[in-house]
Amino acid sequence: MRSEKRFGRVIVIGGSMAGLLGARVLSDHFEQVIILERDPEPNGPEARKGVPQGRHAHGLLDAGLHVLETLFPGLMREMYSEGAERMDMGRDAAWYTAGSWKTRYISGIELILCTRTWLEWKVRGRVAALPQVELRSSCAVEGLITDPAHTRVMGVRFKTPEGEETLMADLVVDAGGRGSRAASWLEALGYGKPEEEEIRLRLAYTSRFFEPPPNYRGDWKMMAMFPRAPEQSRGGFIARVEGGRWLVTLHGYFGDDPPRDDKGFLEFARSLPQPDIYEAIRDAKPLTEAVVHKIPSSRMLHYERMENFPEAFVLLGDSVCALNPVYGQGMTVCSLSAQLLGQTLVEHKRASPGTMQGLSRRFQRKLSQLLSIPWMMGTTMDLKYPQAQGQRFPGLGLLHWAFGTLIDLTSVSTLACRQFYEVMHMRRGMAALLRPDLLAAFAAYGLKSLFVPLPRRANVDTLPRAPA
Ligand SMILES: Cc1cc2nc3c(=O)[nH]c(=O)nc-3n(C[C@H](O)[C@H](O)[C@H](O)COP(=O)(O)OP(=O)(O)OC[C@H]3O[C@@H](n4cnc5c(N)ncnc54)[C@H](O)[C@@H]3O)c2cc1C
């Protein structure tokens, strides 16, 4: 791969998951990769101002984990040996979702449980060690530089504690996260604005570390509880993370924010659809204060639909699409997007050797296809709440019925649960749900759902035991 390298310099705006993974992939195609990150140099795996969500529970789905392992061979083994939990989604997740507990079985679908700050720190260490990469902290990008005719991006303007600087490059990648200012930079340069899709949720996360009670014997590594829309709006997670701790996150929609104080936090946990999270944490010892993060909405910006778009500029990560975090897809989408950027560069070099012409559009179009499935899955579920503000489309009611029925079925059918996890973990596309044996089981169950109430056809009450 290295011998094919022919581009000079690429600038990556933002040194979080999308920026770091993007930089790793770009190091195969550029002589020099410069990451400009607004935050000061971190001293260790600590929460940063630019990534406030880093203090809350973050799961990395199977597809994302495999991309990371491909980009950084041995990373997962190293993290497991240093205290991250390796978990099998079918066996080790106690997951109550939308009114029923998932069936449990050995799935071969892997998840790593650790704090987001530590995962990012590990990835950062690997990326910073690459000879092509230069990671510059305390550099806040303020705008793009284009050629006089505004046909292509030539570089960036940025601020450091010492003053203002400019830097030129063959390609600029925006990975500035949800707060990225790329849309307004493009508008100020006369390109217009990207179309925006938004589902307003007013979701709040409140998280706290606990030491598990000494004699607690749960047969799970992660417990998750999702509300059944539209009647319920509260949920929570417990994840076993490095250091033998539990990271407990509670969440509520539409302004129903989980409180930060001891009593309020426990009472909120007690009010969840099932008592299991409350029962696990009531005797656990809090290790930290609780912290809150608010997520106004899920949001997607359609850069691929813009009539005018500059050459030599691409965007990835939350700067394009910030998903509802409860579905745990964001970092996996960053990984898959970085991988896609690498594949697109390989194809592009073959089709248009030695030029960036056409790369931006080619990548943003492919990225929008990749994003369409996680976006559709999450927003469809969220639009079940009448309070969720956003574009509703014909056939949504039927989709809600189909998703809801499938989810109920996953509590009693290993086949349905397996296929659902394959899609959710982004290992397979939606076609995995169209297998004839699953369709037959779905049709029979769907018919049953018209006559048999939920508690008599789904596992609504008892957490199934993990298989040995
Ligand atoms: C509460 C919460 C829980 C979540 N849980 C999960 C989960 O369980 N699993 C999962 O996969 N995802 C989860 N996510 C989503 C995940 O955090 C994001 O998808 C992911 O962090 C996106 O990475 P990013 O690099 O695109 O953006 P960010 O992580 O937001 O990082 C953007 C970076 O760019 C820098 N930056 C911004 N502007 C500039 C500038 N002008 N100049 C220089 N630097 C700049 C910032 O300082 C920051 O470092 C969660 C999100 C939230 C809010």
Q: Which of 116, 174, 335 to mutate to test the pocket of ligand 1 (most atoms within 8 A of CB)?
A: 116
Q: Which residues of the chain have pLDDT under 70?
A: 1-5
pLDDT in tens, 250-296: 999 999 999 999 999 999 999 999 999 999 999 999 999 999 999 99
Atom of ligand 1 nearest to the CA of 36: 43
Average pLDDT across the chain, whole number? 96
3-state SS class at 466: coil
What pLDDT score does 29 carry?
96
Q: What is the distance, to the nearest Å, from the Cα of residue 161 to the centroid of all Cα atoms in its chain? A: 32
What pLDDT score does 3 carry?
45
For residues 204 and 380, what is the distance between their CA atoms, to the nearest angstrom?
19
Distances in whole angstroms, Cα of residue 447 to Cα of each of 102, 181, 412, 420: 20, 49, 15, 20
What pLDDT score does 4 carry?
60
Q: Which of 38, 222, 294 to mutate to test the pocket of ligand 1 (most atoms within 8 A of CB)?
A: 38
What pLDDT score does 215 carry?
87
Beta strands, E only, 14-53: 30-36
| Domains of the chain, start order | 2-85+115-197+298-379 (3.50.50.60), 202-296 (3.30.70), 396-457 (no CATH)
- Report which of 320, 325, 418 is spatially closest to residue 369, judged by C-alpha positions: 320
What pLDDT score does 1 carry?
45
Beta strands, E only, 230-290: 234-241, 245-252, 285-286
Name the residue with tokens 């290295």. 2
Beta strands, E only, 53-152: 59-60, 85-88, 93-97, 100-101, 110-113, 133-136, 140-146
Q: Which of 20, 51, 138 to mutate to test the pocket of ligand 1 (most atoms within 8 A of CB)?
A: 51
Find the residues whose C-beta lies inside 6 A of ligand 1: 13-19, 36-39, 50-51, 53, 56-60, 140-141, 175-180, 205, 293, 295, 317-319, 325, 328-332, 334
